Amino acid sequence: MNVPYLDISTQTRLIRPALDQAIGDVLDSGSFVLGPHVTAFEHEFGSALGGIGAVACNSGTSALHLILKALGIGPGDEVVTVSMTFAATVAAVLYTGATPVVVDIDPDSWTMDPEQLRGAISAKTRAVIPVHLHGRIADMASICDIADAAGVPVIEDAAQAHLAHRGDQYAGSFGLAAAFSFYPGKNLGALGEGGAVVSRDAQLLKDVARLRDWGTDYKYDHQTLGFNYRMDGIQGAVLSVKLGFLSEWTHERVRKAIVYEDLRSKPGLSLPMLDTTGGHSYHVYSILVRDPERLGEELARLGISTGRHYPVPVHLQQAYRGAVQPIGDLRRTVEFARSCLSLPLYPELSDPQQEYVIKQLDHLLGAQ
């Protein structure tokens, strides 16, 4: 049996007529950059997150960069985040000239440890960026309390957390603003690059929208140095179609994550902490094992593809070492990076495919 790590072509095939229709509409409209399809998607996405404002842009990285720029963050400032994330979180801070200060993760949730955050805040701290790693919402109550007490805004990196929620509150609505990514492999993926900033702060969104489009409110009237970070019309139209399925797809991810719970009794591996609120979006389903490289290779020989998110923490990467200020030894981050292995989990993963993954894992772990 063959079990790919991701299967975007199956998802595309299943909704192909609706995608063709949406793309056709954009071709007819001639609105290829921003325009009515992008505006409609912004409204729909904001509504899906419980009624919040949204500004669409060309990637999750741009979304983070735009929020930081709109807050006026730059050289001499510090932004506290984590090292167990995709490099974009840290890169966006570096793009502004500010210094990323990275703290360790909590051993259970694998997201920012609030106590570590407390110790990292200095007079130079201008923002805190928790990452909802794998789609699990970070401890936002504690993080927001600590940041509020220091008078520092919280920016959520929600690139992996579309529709993740705590009670009736969605990821992206806990802090001052949040960044989402619509990279094709994300839970809500465009047919190319895409991202969005969401916030309840209308002025902040207005500033973000201006910076996204060359720093202008009116054509050729440049008030501030902006960027070309606009979303394509086709991506807006396609994302509107896919957003209609997102709740169902997220439900399927959660259902499959519960099936993986069968592995909890097996020796030699740790599973993600159970999210008893059911609000995890399971962008990634990562297990911790002693030798993930070897287990990944053995699974690959059996036709099962896996991933690693992420095998090298950002502060230890060649491009970031020196530019990033770590707080302490980031022991748990390093340990997590050494042990993590991501299993196939997506709405289109069939029950027989998942049973096969569990059976082979069971067998391999028993033999170790």
Ligand X SMILES: *Cc1c(COP(=O)(O)O)cnc(C)c1O
Residues engaged in binding ligand X (CB under 6 A) = 59-61, 85-86, 88-89, 131, 157, 159-160, 181, 183, 195
Least separation in angstroms between residue 61's CB and ligand X is 3
Least separation in angstroms between residue 217's CB and ligand X is 26
Least separation in angstroms between residue 190's CB and ligand X is 9
Least separation in angstroms between residue 50's CB and ligand X is 21
Nearer to ligand X, 85 or 125 (CB): 85
Nearer to ligand X, 152 or 159 (CB): 159
Nearer to ligand X, 86 or 249 (CB): 86
Nearer to ligand X, 7 or 157 (CB): 157
Least separation in angstroms between residue 335's CB and ligand X is 19
Least separation in angstroms between residue 298's CB and ligand X is 27
Nearer to ligand X, 85 or 342 (CB): 85
| Nearest of 180, 181, 103 to residue 143 by alpha carbon | 103
Closest CB to ligand X: residue number:
60
Nearer to ligand X, 60 or 296 (CB): 60
Least separation in angstroms between residue 352's CB and ligand X is 29
Nearer to ligand X, 82 or 204 (CB): 82
